[in-house]
Amino acid sequence: MAQGSQVHHVEIQLADADRERYLNLKISTPRHPSETTERLILRLLAFALLHEEGMEFRSGGVSQGDAPDLSVRALTGELRHWIDTGTPTEQRLRKAAKHIPEVTVLTHDGLLRRWQSQHGGKLPAFDGRILCLEADLVENLSPSPPRRIRWQMTVTGGTLYLDTGEQTLSSRLVELS
C-alpha cells in the first residue's frame, strides 16, 4: 500500500435479478492519494456489478499502470477477465483483448462524452464490452466517501438501485458494445 493511502472497508449486499446473483461482498481497498473519489467509486461499483469468484483489485493501487483495475484469474493463474474503469486508452484495451478472453470497461455517461471526443466522436474499438452508468449516481457517491462503506444494491430491468443508508440513488446500466 502506498504511503498516505486511505483504506476503505466496504460491505455490499447485491441483489442482481438480471443476472440471478445474490451476494454479500466484503472487501477492503486502498485509495492512493492521487486517485480521485470518482475512480474509487467506479472501482467499487465494478467490483459488485461484475463480481466473479476470485476477483481482485489491482495490487499496488493505481500506480501499477499495466495491470487492470480489477481482474479475475483462472486457477492456473491465467488472466480470464480484465476490467478497467473510466476512460482507458484504445491501445490498452486492444492489447488486453488480444490475450484475455473477456475485457470490460465500466464508465459513466459524463466520462463517455469526453472519451468519445478523444476518439473522433466514436468509442474505442476493441473486442470487449463497455457498461455505462449515469454520471449523477457516481457524482452523488463521490463527494466524500467514508472509510466504512455499506451499500445495498439491486439490479433489475437494466436499472441499478443503490441505498447508502443516507440516500437512495438509481441509474440505468447500459451495455454499449
CATH number at residue 35: 3.10.640.10
Q: What percentage of residues in the chain have a pLDDT greater than 90? A: 73
Residue-level pLDDT at 144: 83
Residue-level pLDDT at 64: 61
Q: Has residue 164 been placed in a domain?
A: yes
Q: Has residue 50 been placed in a domain?
A: yes
Whole-number average pLDDT of the chain:
91
**Average pLDDT, integer, range 145-160:** 96
Q: Has residue 117 been placed in a domain?
A: yes
Instruction: Return the exposure string of 44-70: e unless at least 16 CB atoms fall within 10 Å of the residue's CB, then b.
Output: bbbbbbbbeeebebbeebbeeeebbbb
Residue-level pLDDT at 62: 59
Q: Has residue 1 been placed in a domain?
A: no
Range of the domain at 29: 6-175
Report the number of distinct structural domains present in the chain: 1
Better-predicted residue by pLDDT, 67 or 59: 67
**Contact call for residues 62 and 79 (beta carbons, < 8 A):** no
**Average pLDDT, integer, range 36-65:** 87
pLDDT reading at 1 higher than 60: no
Global pTM reads 0.93
Residue-level pLDDT at 121: 79
Better-predicted residue by pLDDT, 3 or 126: 126
Segment (H or E) for 44: helix 37-49
Query: Residue 16 CA to chain centroid, in angstroms?
Result: 16
Residue-level pLDDT at 65: 67
pLDDT reading at 142 higher than 60: yes
